[in-house]
Structure 1
């Protein structure tokens, strides 16, 4: 009995040690990514939002920006976002698991680091880095922060998909939607417009749809790279944003959902709510 007790104590101590080691390793990787993100920053060309920038923009874009940006609002340099929500762990059906995350975004040069923790079982988490840093796309989940499940890093398709995420989430940091910040617009119809963003060798175009209230409702890409097994397959992708609220003088959506549009139908994989957001100007 005594040896059994000693064995149980040893197992508990080992589990606690691995738990702490996993978090330490993951925190170190997160810090390295954040340091690289900060090193890649550049200075914005303008300091404040000038409503004259709206002249010549497609009508739904100008209407949206008039609502969400007060005149003279400082250009957003960086953002800290805290989320909670659920993540779909299946690529074919719906298998939702809760997550929490922190995200750092810089708007010039565009980039972000999303550090998430998905709870897949009691006491067992998958830690995830999803990032676009200095033109490189990064996706790396690790079980307990120690066992890498996948490591995708490149300046091609992965980077392209991550820059799409930056564009789609610009509703959270709306000065990034301005032409002076690199976003170029062309009209589609009375409620839609296409936005184009260039960063390095990557040139992206996505379609923004605006609701009857004039606010961004959906953002769509026709060919975002979807990871299926060991392959990346271009797939239509859609982000939905809603529940607009005032945050630090800006009107932003605090809830969202993203989904792949597959031949079998719409497959949501992320649903989240902003619990905190802090702007750096």
Structure 2
């Protein structure tokens, strides 16, 4: 019995050490991505006058380097699976396309049930999922992920209005209902403005999504923003949701509320 207890204790210690190493590697990965975002040189952009006016109305000054926000959100990992809480912290670059989204599903103290890193930096997209914050269960990279993350960066510009004044990679077109914004790669989304001039609806065609067989399929994509609130001098939508169009039906897979927002 004594040896069994000792062996069990040793296994527990080894498991904790392995988990600690995994958590350290996950943190190191996030730090490396953040370093690439921080390495972006300050720039300025010259958008159409209507876009510049929108950015100014939202409070943009064209001075900061990044947005840092936190979210209380829910996510449905696959259709019909049900929503699970997933608090998150995000950094959005303003002078070049880039972001780092870190989400943790709570479990016990500092140990998360799952940790997700979704990012785009220096032209590369990444989606990484770690069980218990340490055990890799999914790591996705490649052209499809690059395009998906580029489109995410564009779709979240309502949370980063200063990018309209700072990011020269953004190509804006004024439409009857709002704006189309694209990147040199071809990634593009459309925004509709409401009567108050707020970006409330995002639509895009052909975003890469994981299909039932685990491969990629191109789906139309839609998002909605609401509850515009003044935060750190900017008029930011506190609430948002996003989903895919499947068989002609819009189904959200993420919805959440911005709990803090600042520029630096």
Which bin holds the TM-score, normalised by the shorter protein?
A: 0.7 to 0.9
> Which SS does the other structure have where 2:156 is aligned?
helix
Q: Which moved more, 1:19-28 or 1:159-168?
A: 19-28
- Residue 166 of structure 1 is aligned with which of 129, 153, 156? 153
Distance 2:38 2:14 in 1: 36
Q: Equivalent residue for 2:210?
A: 227
Shift in alpha-carbon separation, 1:64–1:80, aligned structure 2, 3 A? same
Distance 1:180 1:31 in 2: 23
Q: Equivalent residue for 1:149?
A: 137
Question: What's the offset of the Cα at 1:14?
Answer: 4.7
2:67 aligned with 1:79: yes
The two structures have a TM-score, normalised by structure 2, of 0.86
2:189 aligned with 1:194: no
Q: Give deviations 1:104-153, integer Å, cap 9, x for gaps.
A: 22222221111211348996522111111100111111212333222211
Distance 2:200 2:54 in 1: 11
Shift in alpha-carbon separation, 1:124–1:10, aligned structure 2, 3 A? farther
Aligned length, in residue pairs: 262
Question: What's the offset of the Cα at 1:65?
Answer: 3.2
Q: Which moved more, 1:240-249 or 1:20-29?
A: 20-29
Shift in alpha-carbon separation, 1:124–1:242, aligned structure 2, 3 A? same
Question: What's the offset of the Cα at 1:225?
Answer: 0.5
Question: Runs of 5+ in structure 1 lacking a partner?
Answer: none
2:11 aligned with 1:21: no
2:241 aligned with 1:253: no
Q: Give runs of aligned pairs for residues 125-136 of structure 1, distance below 5 A.
A: 125-136=113-124
2:101 aligned with 1:114: yes
Q: Which moved more, 1:234-243 or 1:224-233?
A: 224-233
Q: Which moved more, 1:178-187 or 1:77-86?
A: 178-187
> Which SS does the other structure have where 2:22 is aligned?
helix
Shift in alpha-carbon separation, 1:255–1:88, aligned structure 2, 3 A? same
Q: Equivalent residue for 2:197?
A: 214
Q: Equivalent residue for 2:44?
A: 45
> Which SS does the other structure have where 2:24 is aligned?
helix
2:260 aligned with 1:276: yes
Question: What's the offset of the Cα at 1:212?
Answer: 2.7
Over the aligned positions, Cα root-mean-square deviation in angstroms equals 2.8
Question: What's the offset of the Cα at 1:177?
Answer: 2.5
Question: What's the offset of the Cα at 1:185?
Answer: 2.9
